[in-house]
Chains A and B, each alone.
Chain A
């Protein structure tokens, strides 16, 4: 009996730290979003804050903007990351330098990525000055404004720079460990290299790709610093909006910030659920037995 419960007992300390912090934060956030914030005299539970933010066109624009930047950057990062991993694996040259170079952006913080994107793509950045010196534009300000605008290019660039290597790293590891003989078998059965990739390798790494996609989507949908530094003034990304509400001097605004956070969490959970559902419908194989 004692042996049976031993693993659970040993797991208690780490469970308290992990789940404790997570659940207490979520609970406090949820209570505040429902209007229960005794510190400022709010004790009446209500859905008022949710109703108000959901009726606010500014909130809906922010939600759309966050979904758009997170979705586009995640989809592009997955496509490019898979291609990058595949091309590194296919290259016959020594892989040491390639392997090191593509992993570099992973260790660089997001704020540094923002500075890099700013230094390259801003109107006073390297690219505009380069084009100006080559005579393609008459003055640096003629360079298209790709940062701080509603198309979210700056945010997407920064996320791509960070996320492509992340996806590539996951896919590269899975592809590298895949049994080469499966590809040989496919070739032997008449498949071309391209067909081997589409019909054998890609489906087999799909579970890892979906996981990578969910991770980077959830991160970029909920991340604050990149859209705060590179995003437009309107619409603000949802985490930026939540942060601004949170830092309002009037503490009565706090439930709005928490309601936005709860919507963020809810959206991510719904999105992960949809991803898994779609994956299950089209794909019987989950790779768990490999």
Chain B
């Protein structure tokens, strides 16, 4: 399997810079995710790696060798698109065997490989069906089998689960993860779904406005986002401004010991799930009144007004508070991330 390196890649469409100096690498057999909002350049990056687009500047290296001059057909990087893109006039087995046929593989060998792929994706019973006769999940599995049939060195997944319903998405996600681990194919997944990225990736590259804003392992990315932009992309956050002096954070709610030796004006990023909510207790420093609550099934999302600030809080359903109720809050300060105030 290949190791991939993307070096200083630039790409524009209609004079609009879509990719601005993209740099990252993927280790052999690793599964990484390009995570970002729509239009941030994720799919363009994927197409450049596959060879469907040429970068204006920069290079794409497979195992240390530039592949920019290698045509798409011979690059060994296969994309599975969001829309499945099965050939509508071909049966499932013809779709899966397409790449092998193009490579002029003998018919008997081709049939053997197709059979193996059908077993792998558990679609033996559908081999003679046309794509129109398949469900969304089955189509996706055929698209994956078709890509895997040509034994690619690199598998590129362009939002492959976004057209599936939640249950099917879970199933397909586990299926692809297991398959990737089993076959050890270097894989790049493109998605805008942060949960999906956190669940399946060895590493995640957050792309914002055509740039890689952060590239790290899922836990590091979620717990210590490099900037408020990345933090905000990963979900709603609270920000409290203050000063740090000798490991103590001074803010409108008081002073708190923190694990940083910074000595400057800072902005503390607090994840809503790191704010604990409890019945009113005057011994606690932060008190407030519940302004809004939203039920999401397994969690409750609150907005609490305290010292004219809105504090977001996500709790389990162990204790439920009513709108207007006075509550006390505890912040898990060891989980707080500090940014320079002007960042």
Contacts and interface: CB of A to CB of B under 8 A. Distances in A.
A250 B26 CA distance: 90
Contacts of B72: 187-188
Contacts, number: 68
B102 A182 contact: no
Interface in A148-190: 179, 181-182, 184-190
B88 A290 contact: yes
B85 A182 contact: yes
A10 B238 CA distance: 64
Contacts of B132: 289
Interface in A38-61: none
Contact of A285 (B74, B85, B89, B150): B89
A267 to B, nearest CB: 30
Main secondary structure of the interface of A (DSSP, over half): helix
Contact of B85 (A185, A195, A290): A185
Interface stretch (B76-84, B184-192, B196-204): B76-84
Interface stretch (A23-31, A129-137, A198-206): A198-206
Nearest to B78: A188
Contacts of A203: 89
A278 to B, nearest CB: 16
Task: From A184, A185, A283, name the one whose CB has the most chain B CB atoms within 10 angstroms.
Answer: A185
Interface string B69-109: 00011100111010101011111000000110111000000
B102 A191 contact: yes
Interface string A189-230: 111100100011001101000000000000000000000000
Give the contact-size bracket for chain B: 20 to 34
A290 B88 CA distance: 8
B52 interface: yes
Interface string B298-331: 0000000000000000000000000000000000
B139 interface: no
Interface in A273-290: 283-285, 287, 289-290
Give the contact-size bracket for chain A: 20 to 34
Task: From A187, A190, A199, name the one whose CB has the most chain B CB atoms within 10 angstroms.
Answer: A190
Given A185-B81, A289-B88, A284 B146 contact: no
A189 B78 contact: yes
Contact of B130 (A181, A186, A284): A284
24 contacts: A179-B85, A181-B81, A181-B83, A182-B87, A185-B85, A186-B87, A186-B98, A187-B52, A187-B72, A188-B52, A188-B78, A189-B102, A189-B146, A189-B150, A190-B99, A190-B102, A191-B99, A191-B102, A192-B73, A199-B98, A199-B102, A283-B89, A284-B91, A289-B132
Interface of A: 179, 181-182, 184-192, 195, 199-200, 203-204, 206, 283-285, 287, 289-290
